[in-house]
A and B are shown apart, each in its own frame.
Chain A
């Protein structure tokens, strides 16, 4: 029984249905946010230390995210937060009325960093709608391409985005007492990374000059080169299509691919060693760091990397083939795994727009999913994107992001979710490289150029906070790598057997209505594309990205989104400031960046008529000339 808030129960066969006697099962109460504002005004009137701190734009988050917080500098606490997506993406609108075959190419442009995952989610969505089952080699190559995207994305976040927040140059400035301790603090994992003291690691996290920073940039090149070998180009590959891929697999291609991937063997160990040491050190300096970005561990992920023996593209069997993925789908609520079934994840999904610049839609054409189970009028298959630009108003509308919920809860999305859920579920297919224990994930990293083979183990942490998100992301590099090796080995076996077909041909039916959903994941987590095809054209196309989920505004019933909640829960531990003028807000930024935000993923147009100051115009991906 995974639903606690939606009035859904299950029969003996595990099929969901609405509870009897509930008159309006999907009704909800809209909370008045006036009271919040009145409370803040009252505090402000009594306390001169209250400050508004606007991160506008949060430059490192692509300029399309602004984050407003109200902080009490005297008591070092955060009083109020609002996360704003300041741009609108037009993809759902552009795709309406187009040939379904355009979807993979167009939706790929939703992000300039990770375009391949959108192509794949789109392909999966059409495969389900039209009953297209790719051949095994097509599935495996798609998996290998995904691995490359993750191997590109996660190190980039760890060392180029989040890393500078823990670098010597920054910590010296914001928390000199921690820098002082770092000089003599031994690094426990010097056998993995070669550093003797924490201060040495911090020096090499310095942006532009630090060895770890520069090495991460170089590793992104290696991952991209591996992608290009199989995918032709990156980002925005044109080889990922419904039914598989269009790659022409040559006899040497997989060997060349391996030569790229094996460069990550040592690097994966180094990622784990560096970030284990950094975060453990911060906890030792001040246990209050465990509260930075703290949230109950509530997250959803669809799992990725389909198993070629099980994936058949049908909704009917998606619970089975989903649980055979190389990362397990699931929902975790307050640290407890409540389901691993894709249908449950789909049935519990809703999207709300009460605090977003969109109109609520009135037409909900579908009462059920493809298995006859109930879905909400607010489910993406029922959603119509109706933009409604307007002024920013904290009590009403303030973001171009919508508010996705699962079982009427906000949740988190991230690379860490696939680590967390896969560890808890204990359902990974048998592999020499990766095993799930039910409370941890065991990763058997092979010998690299300089380091011996090693067994790494990520354990479910006692607390869930900004540092643990990043730590799990560091282990995700090794997890990705192990899944890559498993799939590479399987692809080699297929090639030896001559099973090299990579694509299943298909046609778009000219008549009839078809639905599909592509359950997938970006480097940053949860990604799904829902499509409705009518008489040969897309009549509806909806995309939910990880940043939509994490950066969402409040729910209609007043529950804050993940960024908002996590910042609200954070103590302000920055020590080296005298007044608001030299307050850096580093703890708040560490929280936001722990989610690996990427706002081009979410939105694409400036708010018209807003009183929000957008201090820099940027041309995000898929925009411009």
Chain B
């Protein structure tokens, strides 16, 4: 049983040039981890299912490193590592995340919060976050359609560009440090509290209709 787990959250397995995509996973799998027993997992599905998988493990994990793209209003295309600080989450807020999780929303914040509630996380959990303004694969496809026409295979098989390649290298380096050295290996490590997670929006907005709005 692995003692350290690396989970890729929200990775697109088919569009090679979509950050960070299969290219990142290939690099991760080719990485040498020394004496550590490291398992690379795709976490691209319902957080509830992932939590149940983690609950069913017989041996405890020493460390978990989650890698994802996020949009936390930081410098675009920058890479950050934060350490998850467990704390109780308000039941309403948690329930909103569970609602999303079971309808297919894949998001690292939901995974962290739900995992914390069900007690699946080991003492050391790190979030490697690639700040990326466009997080949806469809955006990429729409842009690519203008460039290459309607050939879907050409879109999905295109290799990453230079900027994406650089991001992959950065994310890989930070993931490796988090895996091998934990908190000790990461200078300037910031905590990630529940209050730092992207909030789940209130879903009901009400406003007066004026005669000019249909």
Contact = CB atoms under 8 A, between A and B. Distances in A.
A37 B56 CA distance: 55
B78 interface: no
B75 to A, nearest CB: 17
B139 A52 contact: no
Given A53-B206, A59-B99, A619-B136, A94 B105 contact: no
Contacts of B159: none
Contact of A55 (B96, B204, B213): B204
A94 B155 contact: yes
A70 B209 contact: yes
A394 interface: yes
Interface string B151-169: 1111110000000000000
Contacts of A608: 139, 142
B107 interface: yes
B12 interface: yes
B214 A235 contact: no
Given A221-B52, A617-B71, A160 B13 contact: no
For the complex of A and B, the 10 pairs showing the least CB-CB separation, nearest first, are A624-B10, A605-B138, A37-B214, A90-B141, A60-B99, A96-B152, A615-B201, A97-B153, A600-B104, A604-B138
B45 A619 contact: no
A476 B45 CA distance: 25
A621 B203 CA distance: 20
Contact of B100 (A95, A109, A395, A618): A618
Interface string A603-625: 11110100000011111111111
B46 A604 contact: no
Interface string B36-67: 00000000111011001000100000000001
A165 to B, nearest CB: 11
Contacts of A387: 142, 145
Contacts of A389: 142
Given A44-B210, A55-B203, A619-B10, A87 B106 contact: no
B106 A160 contact: no
B138 A89 contact: yes
A585 interface: yes
Given A224-B49, A605-B137, A616-B200, A94 B152 contact: yes
Nearest to A92: B152
Contact of B209 (A52, A89, A619, A622): A52
Interface string B187-214: 0000000000011111111111111111
Nearest to B130: A625
Interface of A: 36-37, 40-41, 44-45, 48, 50-63, 70, 80, 87-90, 92-98, 106, 109, 111-113, 115, 156, 160-161, 164, 207-209, 217, 220-221, 224, 234-236, 387, 389, 394-395, 537, 580-581, 583-585, 589, 597-601, 603-606, 608, 615-625
B213 A619 contact: no
B138 A61 contact: no
A623 B100 CA distance: 15
A479 to B, nearest CB: 21
A93 B103 CA distance: 24
Chain A CB within 10 A, most for which of B105, B108, B140, B213 = B105
Given A58-B203, A59-B203, A625-B19, A112 B44 contact: yes
A625 B68 contact: yes
Given A113-B102, A235-B46, A236-B45, A585 B204 contact: yes
B126 interface: no
Contacts of A235: 45-46, 49
B150 A93 contact: yes
Given A63-B105, A96-B153, A97-B152, A624 B135 contact: yes
Nearest to A106: B14
Contacts of B145: 93, 387
B105 A620 contact: yes
Given A80-B214, A616-B200, A623-B12, 8 more contacts: A44-B210, A54-B205, A55-B204, A59-B96, A59-B99, A60-B103, A61-B103, A112-B44
A112 B91 contact: no
B204 A584 contact: yes
Contact of B201 (A37, A59, A604): A59
B102 A156 contact: yes
Given A41-B211, A235-B45, A387-B145, A580 B11 contact: no
Contacts of A583: 204, 206
Contacts of A111: 104
B200 to A, nearest CB: 6
Contacts of B19: 625
Contacts of A618: 100, 105, 107
Contact of A51 (B45, B155, B203, B207): B207
Nearest to A393: B214
A36 B214 CA distance: 8
Contacts of B183: none
Contacts of B21: 625
Contact of B214 (A41, A58, A598, A603): A41
B68 A619 contact: yes
A52 B206 CA distance: 6
A40 B98 CA distance: 37
B104 A112 contact: yes
A9 B203 CA distance: 47
A93 to B, nearest CB: 5
B120 to A, nearest CB: 13
Interface in B60-90: 67-69, 71
B174 to A, nearest CB: 13
A130 B105 CA distance: 35
Contact of B212 (A41, A93, A604): A41
A19 B71 CA distance: 56
B8 interface: yes
B106 A620 contact: yes
B121 interface: no
Contacts of B210: 44
Chain A CB within 10 A, most for which of B24, B71, B103 = B103
B136 A600 contact: no
A161 B103 contact: yes
A625 B204 contact: no
21 contacts: A44-B211, A52-B213, A54-B206, A59-B96, A60-B96, A93-B141, A106-B14, A113-B104, A160-B98, A217-B48, A585-B204, A589-B204, A600-B104, A604-B136, A618-B105, A618-B107, A621-B44, A623-B137, A624-B10, A624-B106, A625-B8
